[in-house]
Amino acid sequence: MGDPEKKKKRKKAANGIRQRWFKNILSLVAAVVIIAGVAFTLANGMYTYSAMRSGLEAEAATTAAFLRNYLNLDFNECYASCILLVQNYENKDRLELQFVDENSRIVASSYGLFADERVETDEVSRALSSRSPVYFVGKNPATNERIMTVTTPMIYSDGRVVGVLRFVTATRSADRFVLLILLVTLGLAGLVVLIVYLSSRLYFKSILIPVSEITETAKRIAGGSYGVQIEKKFDDEIGELADTINDMSNKISQSERMQAEFVSSVSHELRTPLTAITGWGETLMDGDVGPEETRRGITIILREARRLTSMVEELLEFTRMQDGRFTLNVRRCDLRADFEDMIFMYGSRLRQEGIELEYEDSPEDIPEISCDPERMRQVFLNILDNAAKHGGEGKKITASMTREDGEIVIRIRDFGPGIPAEELPHVKKKFYKGSSKVRGSGIGLAVCEEIVTMHGGKLEIGNAEGGGCLVTVRLPLGTPA
């Protein structure tokens, strides 16, 4: 795949993630920021208008309290006092104070400009009917300007209405302030969204490019390029992902190499006995051989046939283990008796090869346990066979079975060269043969460990003091899980 095609796929993937981000996270952030901004603006607006109203009501209360001193005067004098107060109102630079009669006609104004004007809103009639201050905010029908008013009725001592004092202020400055707050808040909200957007782009760039590179490498691995490595650029989750894929690539490469070696080894292992069988079969078919040579040929054919059978059975066992068909037939049995019988049988065979198999009997009583005796016999025979093949030059093998700390412990030791220290961690892995030149499939110990593990035990392989390899099998006295 060429670079343009890779870039196209990378861009498509990035757009998909980016669109999901905008649809989910960024839109949510924008909505929250805008809602918070509008709420802040509304709160400021309410505070601003509330402060204006409080100021008007306080001014109205103060002025009304002052005029109550004149309500005991003559009605006309009281009326005139209200007009005089309005005309000389000290705070007229901030507010307009109007004296309005009960017919909503403006009698006097602190601005001094009126010509039989009338109050066209209803707060005068409401104040007179309730005989208490009335608050109003809205448009002035005469000027189409937004205003805020507090209207306070002035009631003479005999209950007659002198008029109302109407405090009026334009909300223009407050409206501009609230609008300014709204614009600033929306601007800040837009800035926050922009910062989130830009940081998201940087984030996408820092995440998507490495992820795309990892994806491409993973595709190469899936295509058969085992062993390729990803350059680690970050010590974070992406770096950990790169390490994991690199480790997977190495393990797959190693597994492929081991399987290739296994196929080659098995092919060679199968070819050698087949060649011997075929050769001796053809020789015997010719009929031009003596009785002694015939017996020798048949012996070789039987031995090689048994070896082939053993290899095929081992391969079948491994196949069952891989696809989950490897099972146990558990029952109560005397494992010590079975082990001793196997030692006797195998010892006879080893003596023919000049190897002494020494059994160290345990004085302790070893009870019956629940296990699969056929599988355990397979384990012991495989270990003894390995000891004979790899450590036979030591001409001695020792075997023992003891009871230790609630376990049955079987130890089989040879006196050969042992296993190189660097190969010990790998000897139980499937297909692994190490530096040994001895023929074999490399799966026998893997099958043994699977059997022991299924019994709830442990298979340990190490080098013994004084030389040779020591294999230890530990089995619990209880029933395996």
451 and 352 inside one domain: yes
pLDDT in tens, 184-206: 888 888 888 888 778 777 776 76
In a domain, 59, yes or no: no
- Say what the alpha-carbon torsion angle 49, 55, 56, 57 is, to the nearest 10 degrees: 110
41 and 115 inside one domain: no
Maximum Cα interatomic distance, the chain, rounded to a whole number of Å: 164
Task: Please give the Cα distance from 433 to 437 (Å, whole number).
Answer: 8
* This model's pTM is above 0.85: no
Look up the domain containing 153 and give its range. 71-170
Domain boundary among 301, 323, 345: 323
Location of structure tokens 């060679």: 268
The predicted pLDDT at position 458 comes to 93
- Domain of residue 89, CATH code: 3.30.450.20
83 and 217 inside one domain: no
Beta strand 396-404 with 356-360 is: parallel
In a domain, 61, yes or no: no
Beta strand 331-333 with 369-371 is: antiparallel
In a domain, 58, yes or no: no
Please state, rounded to an integer, the average pLDDT across all residues of the chain: 80
Query: Residue 443 corresponds to which tokens in the numbers above?
Result: 């799966």
83 and 136 inside one domain: yes
The predicted pLDDT at position 397 comes to 92
**Which residue, among 418, 420, 402, 398, has the nearest Cα to 410 in the 3D structure?**
402
471 and 349 inside one domain: yes
The predicted pLDDT at position 13 comes to 52
In a domain, 228, yes or no: no
Element (H, E) at 384: helix 373-391
- Number of compact structural domains in the chain: 4
In a domain, 129, yes or no: yes
156 and 214 inside one domain: no
Domain boundary among 323, 350, 368: 323
The predicted pLDDT at position 352 comes to 83
The predicted pLDDT at position 410 comes to 93
94 and 124 inside one domain: yes
* Secondary structure letter of residue 68 according to DSSP: G
206 and 314 inside one domain: no
393 and 471 inside one domain: yes
In a domain, 142, yes or no: yes
The predicted pLDDT at position 3 comes to 57
In a domain, 310, yes or no: yes
186 and 37 inside one domain: yes
243 and 319 inside one domain: yes
- Domain of residue 272, CATH code: 1.10.287.130
The predicted pLDDT at position 474 comes to 94
pLDDT in tens, 401-442: 999 888 999 999 999 888 888 888 877 776 666 656 555 556
The predicted pLDDT at position 398 comes to 93
- List of residues 6+ apart from 371 with CB closer than 8 A: 328, 330, 331, 333, 335, 455, 475, 480
- Domain of residue 439, CATH code: 3.30.565.10
In a domain, 424, yes or no: yes
User: Within the chain, which residues score under 70 in pLDDT?
Assistant: 1-19, 21-23, 69-73, 113-116, 204, 206-209, 226, 234, 258-266, 268-269, 318, 321-325, 430-442, 479-481
The predicted pLDDT at position 399 comes to 93
360 and 438 inside one domain: yes
Task: Please give the Cα distance from 267 to 408 (Å, whole number).
Answer: 38
